[in-house]
């Protein structure tokens, strides 16, 4: 037996079996109170427990042997599952084995009297750290054991030195000394030999590691939300316990949602968390409601993540957070630094970009500058993990890989098993105690996130500055997978937007509590494995239920009726369908009532040719678009037939739901031409031609191509019955436009990305995220593609594409199978996208005129400057004041004037948390708002 194993075996020199072990189940996820009332039977060792997701409850009675008086007594529990130890109705600790992140022991008595009668309950969940298990749980071991603290200490004393000696690159003379002395210890067993080695400390200079305990608990992923709650109970119960025994220990936990679950469902554990938060050991971090995806949610959603997160941390845990904690999101949009700053967050902890496939990030410590110039201090832990085991190799790796030694002497180590692993273990804390300042290891201490960032900020000298979006060169399928999540997310964002505006416009009692509830439910869906489509089917059952709850709730807040209303900050005039099903033309001011007007244009249909005052469109019998002429300039939009449906092989080497790999580009096959077409509307207000076609091996697609009177966009209303395997459906429009960059709408901003593969950075962007539009413009002309629910785009040369549907088979084998309904549109324009009002048109396409019971009598609010978008109108979080959110959409500067229908006495600028600052000047009853490029403005009006 190796020395380490021999020492380990001495930690538990004696064990004894329980007097009685009973089991009940399988049951669902029930409370410990309900579990006590189950019918129990004797547990049979070796019995297989299942099926997946079932729960069993054990009752254990045991007598502590008299001979163990004065000794520490532990429970040893090996069951290849995730379990929770409950004593007297309190969750005491997590016990998980068989799935990585082993935690097979729990301390029961610090000092036994001998003869105690113990009664324990153990809740066993038939799932592993990463959900599904190949082998079902089985009760392998259940014993009480006496704990030998000397053997425990000796094991870690030896193990840390042994691991250090193994490290390549250690000073050879120190390595030699370690080898010789460890060998002597193996022969003689004298602990003093090890103690003497620990006397060797670093010299005057050493890299410093700030280590912080953490459990990255995905709020849902390979398990459903309900199991995530239990993972938090296991994890937080264990961690609060270790804090008693390791006073130096600090544990960081993000995601207000997880704290909120505990507060609501396990008040006893919540009290323990509060106590440990007060003494600084339990460290709330992150400032967000969940750790959201950072590309797909709207700008307003990302702000609300911070508003609800910071509100919770402030109200329930006594302070706002100072950092955005987001190690695992799949890329970060360029407005985040500004949004973070506006939410009181000046620091950014991340990790994921170290997964880049083409270009590794150049820095671990850097200033991240957003699109508007806002700056935050960013850090990637150089160990390249947010779940370090805190052992010697990771400490050495941190020091070795750190890219910023010239400008910085300290870096962060985030340690602890994530997900079901339950966070840090005692072994990790022992290892860190020994590493401390041992010669050859970085100087390591356990700290809080604030202490680490304060130390970084205190460092003198220049920091590298990284500007703009942090594009993840990986996981590009997540803009498209599980299409319904994207569609319902976009729809629910709009619904809550409309509900807030209409409630303000109506006056009277504001449904603040209900909006709060619905917003939090939406923020939960934006978690970085739900919205991106990377979770299992069970998660999407919950997501469908929750999205529909938001739709129902929002609909109840703005009942339908006979009055048209425009819920956008742009005027509009368009053909709409009335509640009675008739086509009418409605004209409406910004945030104001629509009125029915006479049409001043008619659309004509002649076979496959559609024409209105703006566009002359010729469709092909195959379902393509042969020509789109902008009549004002007689310019042809297309370089070749557009609306080309393309199928690609979509077989990523791994991470099926996550990835679209670059070699898919080599497998393009155009879809079969349409089988048939027919004119289904022939003007004068609406022209529509329907095409039916087969797609791929087993799918069908129906498209209604629509041109309305007066419309500048050609719409494609699409229904797909989708049954493909590992295929990606895109639509391509080859545009008669030449430009080195295409423009994509992003949260409260846009991103320009290359249309060529000149460098590895360009090539890496072969599939990119975008919101309501993607545009390719040259001087004087361009065309945008608008979508109602899509987020994956690409542009190579003059070919602008939307990724419509994927068919990954893992982790959800049925992902995206079945019916889909979505729409996109081609918007050719004279001038660039800014002058042509593409931002407004993307919004109109996504927010049809609503028909409501009571609409405002006049425009509720409007801005006189097209650069500044009045995005959101709501009531203040904590008062009856009106809040306006605006953003500069074009990268320009100016002074805008905002007109409000309601009388007001004063207005102040505020941050996202609605902390008020400077007063806003009022001239002629209008708010005067100077703005700078890409600025997000919050105005509180009373």
Task: Give the residue numbers annotated as catalytic, written as ranges.
Answer: 328
Q: How many residues does the chain have?
A: 942
Residues 338-367 close enough to bind Zn ion by CB under 5 A = none
Considering beta carbons, is residue 218 or 498 the nearer one to Zn ion? 218
Q: What is the closest distance, in whole angstroms, from the C-beta atom of residue 526 to Zn ion in the complex? A: 13
* DSSP letters for 63-116: E--GGGTTSEEEEEEE-SSEEEEEETTEEEEEEE-SSSS-B-EEEEESS--SS-
Tell me 935's DSSP state. -
Of residues 67 through 86, those in contact with Zn ion by CB under 5 A are: none
Q: How far is the CB of 531 from Zn ion (least distance, A)?
A: 12
Based on CB atoms, which residue is closest to Zn ion, 328 or 498? 328
Q: Between residues 59 and 535, which has the closer beta carbon with respect to Zn ion?
A: 535
Query: By beta-carbon distance, which residue lies closest to Zn ion?
Result: 328
By beta-carbon proximity to Zn ion, the closer residue of 218 and 788 is: 218
Q: Closest separation between CB of residue 527 and Zn ion, Å?
A: 8
- Find the helix or strand (DSSP H, E) in which 588 lies: strand 583-588
Alpha-carbon distance 476 to 770, whole Å?
A: 12
Pick the closer one to Zn ion by CB: 228 or 338: 228
Does residue number 419 form part of the binding site for Zn ion (CB under 5 A)? no
State the residue for tokens 């009685």. Answer: 20
Q: Is the dihedral of CA 274, 516, 792, 819 positive or negative?
A: positive
Q: Strand 20-27 vs strand 55-63: parallel, antiparallel, or unpaired?
A: antiparallel
- Tell me which stretch binds Zn ion (CB under 5 A): 218-226, 336-344, 469-477, 624-632: 218-226
Nearer Cβ to Zn ion (59/387) = 387
Mask of contacts with Zn ion, 162-201, x by CB under 5 A? Answer: ----------------------------------------
Start-to-end CA distance of the chain, whole Å, equals 77
- Quote the least distance from Cβ 541 to Zn ion, whole Å: 20
Phi, psi dihedrals of residue 115, rounded to the nearest 5°: 85, 0
In this structure, what token pair is assigned to residue 735?
A: 């545009």
Nearest distance from residue 542's CB to Zn ion, in Å? Answer: 17
Give the separation between CA 520 and CA 523, rounded to whole angstroms. Answer: 5
- CA distances 822 to 414, 488, 692, 715, 745, Å, are 42, 11, 15, 11, 18
Region of 272 please: left (phi>0), alpha (psi -120 to 50) or beta.
Answer: alpha
How would you write 17-36 as a 3-class SS string? Answer: CCCEEEEEEEECCCCHHHHH
Nearest to 483, CA basis, from 809, 727, 806, 825? 806
Q: How far is the CB of 217 from Zn ion (least distance, A)?
A: 8
Q: Is 734 exposed, middle or buried (0-12, 13-18, 19+ CB in 10 A)?
A: middle
Q: To the nearest whole angstrom, how small is the minimum distance from the Cβ of residue 328 to Zn ion?
A: 3
For the bound state, the minimum distance from the C-beta of residue 403 to Zn ion, rounded and expressed in Å, comes to 23
**Residue 529 Cβ, how far from Zn ion at the closest point, in Å?**
6
At its nearest, how many Å lie between Zn ion and the CB of residue 380?
Answer: 15
Listed ranges 217-225, 235-243, 384-392, 504-512: which one lies at the site for Zn ion (CB under 5 A): 217-225
Instruction: Give 214 or 664: the residue with its C-beta nearer to Zn ion.
Output: 214
CA 321/CA 313 separation, integer angstroms: 7
Sheet architecture: strand order including 792-796: 669-670, 644-649, 727-734, 799-805, 792-796, 768-769
- Considering only 216-224, 420-428, 808-816, 931-939, which stretch makes contact with Zn ion by CB under 5 A? 216-224
Q: Give the tokens for residue 869.
A: 């978008």
**In angstroms, rounded to a whole number, what is the distance separating the alpha carbons of residues 898 and 925?**
9
User: Distance (Å, rounded) from C-alpha 535 to C-alpha 542?
Assistant: 11
The 3-class SS string of 680-748 reads EEECCCEEEEEEEEEECCCEEEEEEEEEECCCCCEEEEEEEEECCCCEEEEEEEEECCCCCEEEEEECC
- Give the one residue of 328, 394, 546, 745 binding Zn ion; rule: CB under 5 A: 328
Which region, judged by CB under 5 A, interacts with Zn ion, from 323-331, 637-645, 647-655, 884-892?
323-331
| Binding piece for Zn ion, criterion CB under 5 A, among 168-176, 215-223, 779-787, 917-925 | 215-223
Distance CA 937, CA 917 (A): 12
Of 110-118, 212-220, 642-650, 883-891, which part binds Zn ion (CB under 5 A)? 212-220
Q: Which of 82, 165, 218, 419 binds Zn ion (CB under 5 A)?
A: 218
Residue pointed to by tokens 């194993």:
5
Min separation Cβ 218 and Zn ion, Å: 4
- Is the Cβ of residue 230 or residue 897 nearer to Zn ion in the bound state? 230
Judged by beta carbon, residue 402 or residue 527, the one nearer Zn ion is 527
Sorted by sequence, the CB contacts under 8 Å of residue 606 that are 6+ apart come out as none
Count of residues of this chain found to bind Zn ion when the rule CB under 5 A is applied: 2
Binding segment for Zn ion (CB under 5 A), chosen from 214-222, 422-430, 460-468, 669-677, is 214-222
* CA distance to 100, 156, 189, 227, 302, per residue, from 163 (Å): 20, 10, 18, 36, 43
Cβ closest to Zn ion, residue 527 vs residue 591: 527
DSSP 134-167: SS--B--EEEEEEE-HHHHHHHHHHHHHHHHHH-
Which of 690, 683, 704 is CA-nearest to residue 575?
683
The span of 322-330, 581-589, 787-795, 921-929 binding Zn ion (CB under 5 A) equals: 322-330
Question: Which range touches Zn ion (CB under 5 A), out of 183-191, 320-328, 604-612, 840-848?
Answer: 320-328
Q: Which is nearer to Zn ion, 535 or 755 (CB)?
A: 535
Question: SS3 breakdown of the chain: % helix, strand, coil, rounded to 5?
Answer: 25, 35, 40
Q: Which is closer to Zn ion, CB of 293 or CB of 328?
A: 328
Nearer to Zn ion, 422 or 511 (CB): 422
Burial class (CB in 10 A: 0-12, 13-18, 19+), 290: buried
Give the span between the Cα atoms of 228 and 290, in whole angstroms: 12
Q: How far is the CB of 136 from Zn ion (least distance, A)?
A: 26
The answer to whether residues 333 and 222 touch, using CB atoms and an 8 Å cutoff, is: no
Distance CA 167, CA 179 (A): 12
Residues that bind Zn ion (CB under 5 A): 218, 328
């Amino acid at each position: 037996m190796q020395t380490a194993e021999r020492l380990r075996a001495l930690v538990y020199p004696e064990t004894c079996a329980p007097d009685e072990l009973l089991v009940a189940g399988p049951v669902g996820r029930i409370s410990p109170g309900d579990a006590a009332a189950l019918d129990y039977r004797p547990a049979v060792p070796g019995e297989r427990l299942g099926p997946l997701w079932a729960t069993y409850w054990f009752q254990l009675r045991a007598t502590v042997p008299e001979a163990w008086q004065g000794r520490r007594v532990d429970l040893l529990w090996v069951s290849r599952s995730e379990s929770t130890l409950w004593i007297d109705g309190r969750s005491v600790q997590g016990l998980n084995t068989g799935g990585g992140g082993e935690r097979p022991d729990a301390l029961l008595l610090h000092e036994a009297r001998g003869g105690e009668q113990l009664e324990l309950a153990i809740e066993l969940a038939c799932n592993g750290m990463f959900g599904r298990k190949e082998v079902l749980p089985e009760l392998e071991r259940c014993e009480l054991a006496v704990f030998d603290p000397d053997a425990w200490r000796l094991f870690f004393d030896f193990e840390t030195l042994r691991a250090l000696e193994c490290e390549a690159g250690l000073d050879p003379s120190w390595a030699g000394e370690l080898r010789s002395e460890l060998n002597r210890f193996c022969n003689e067993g004298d602990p003093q030999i090890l103690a003497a080695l620990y006397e060797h400390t670093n010299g005057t200079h050493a890299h410093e590691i700030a280590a912080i305990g953490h459990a990255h608990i995905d709020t849902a992923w390979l398990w459903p939300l309900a199991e995530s709650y239990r993972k938090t109970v296991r994890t937080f119960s264990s961690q609060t316990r270790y804090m008693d025994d390791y006073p130096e220990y600090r544990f960081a936990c993000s995601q207000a949602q997880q704290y909120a679950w505990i507060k609501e469902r396990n008040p006893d554990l919540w009290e323990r968390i509060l106590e440990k938060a007060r003494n600084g050991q339990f460290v709330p971090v992150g400032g967000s409601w969940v750790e959201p995806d950072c590309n797909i949610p709207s700008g307003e959603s990302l702000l609300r993540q911070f508003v609800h997160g910071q509100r919770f941390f402030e109200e329930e845990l006594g302070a706002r957070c100072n950092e955005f904690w987001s190690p695992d999101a799949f890329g970060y949009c360029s407005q985040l630094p500004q949004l973070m700053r506006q939410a009181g967050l000046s620091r950014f902890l991340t990790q994921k970009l170290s997964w880049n496939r083409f270009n590794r990030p150049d820095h671990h410590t850097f200033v991240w500058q957003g699109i508007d110039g806002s700056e935050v201090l960013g850090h990637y832990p150089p160990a390249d993990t947010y779940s370090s085991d805190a052992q010697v190799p990771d400490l050495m790796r941190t020091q070795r890989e750190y890219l910023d030694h010239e400008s910085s002497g300290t870096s962060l180590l985030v340690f602890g098993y994530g997900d079901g692993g339950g966070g840090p273990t005692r072994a990790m804390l022992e290892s860190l105690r020994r590493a401390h300042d041992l010669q050859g290891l970085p100087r390591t201490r356990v700290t809080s996130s604030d202490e680490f960032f304060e130390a970084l900020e205190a460092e003198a000298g220049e920091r590298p500055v990284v500007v703009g979006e942090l594009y993840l060169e990986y996981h590009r399928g997540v803009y498209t997978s599980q299409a319904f999540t994207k569609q319902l997310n976009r729809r629910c964002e709009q619904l809550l937007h409309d509900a807030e505006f209409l409630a303000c416009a109506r006056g009277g009692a504001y449904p603040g509590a209900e909006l709060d509830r619905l917003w939090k439910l939406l923020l939960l869906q934006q978690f970085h494995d739900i919205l991106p489509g990377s979770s299992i089917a069970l998660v999407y059952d919950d997501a469908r239920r929750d999205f529909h709850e938001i739709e129902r709730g929002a609909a109840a807040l703005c009942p339908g009726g006979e009055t048209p209303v425009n819920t956008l900050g742009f005027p509009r005039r368009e053909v709409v369908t009335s509640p009675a099903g008739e086509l009418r033309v409605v004209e409406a001011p910004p945030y104001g009532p629509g009125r029915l007007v006479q049409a001043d244009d008619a659309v004509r249909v002649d076979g496959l040719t559609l024409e209105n005052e703006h566009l002359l469109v010729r469709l092909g019998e195959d379902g393509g678009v042969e020509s789109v002429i902008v009549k004002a300039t007689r310019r042809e939009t297309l370089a070749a037939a557009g609306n080309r449906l393309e199928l690609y092989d979509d077989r990523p080497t791994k991470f099926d739901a996550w990835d679209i790999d670059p070699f898919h580009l080599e497998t393009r096959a155009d879809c079969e031409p349409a089988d048939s077409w027919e004119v289904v509307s022939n003007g004068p207000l609406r022209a529509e031609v329907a095409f039916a076609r087969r797609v791929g091996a087993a799918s069908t697609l129906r498209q209604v191509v629509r041109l309305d009177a007066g419309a500048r966009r050609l719409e494609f209303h699409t229904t797909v019955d989708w049954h493909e395997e590992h295929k990606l459906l895109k639509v391509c429009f080859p545009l008669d436009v030449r430009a080195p960059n295409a423009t994509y709408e992003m949260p409260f901003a846009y991103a320009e990305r290359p249309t060529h593969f000149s460098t590895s950075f360009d090539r890496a962007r072969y599939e990119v995220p975008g919101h309501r539009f993607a545009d390719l413009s040259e001087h004087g002309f361009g065309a945008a593609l608008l979508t109602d629910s899509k987020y994956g785009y690409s542009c190579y040369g003059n070919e602008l594409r939307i990724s419509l549907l994927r068919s990954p088979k893992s982790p959800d084998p049925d992902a995206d199978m079945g019916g889909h309904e979505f729409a996109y549109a081609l918007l050719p324009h004279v001038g660039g996208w800014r002058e042509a009002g593409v931002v407004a048109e993307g919004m109109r396409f996504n927010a049809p005129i609503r028909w409501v019971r009571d609409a405002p009598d006049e425009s509720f609010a409007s801005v006189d400057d097209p650069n500044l978008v009045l995005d959101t109108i709501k009531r203040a979080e904590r008062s009856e004041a009106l809040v306006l959110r605006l953003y500069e959409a074009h990268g320009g500067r100016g002074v805008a004037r905002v007109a409000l229908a309601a009388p007001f006495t004063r207005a102040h600028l505020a941050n996202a948390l609605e902390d008020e600052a400077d007063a806003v000047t009022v001239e002629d009853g209008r708010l005067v708002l100077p703005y700078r490029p890409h600025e997000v403005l919050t105005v509180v009006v009373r």
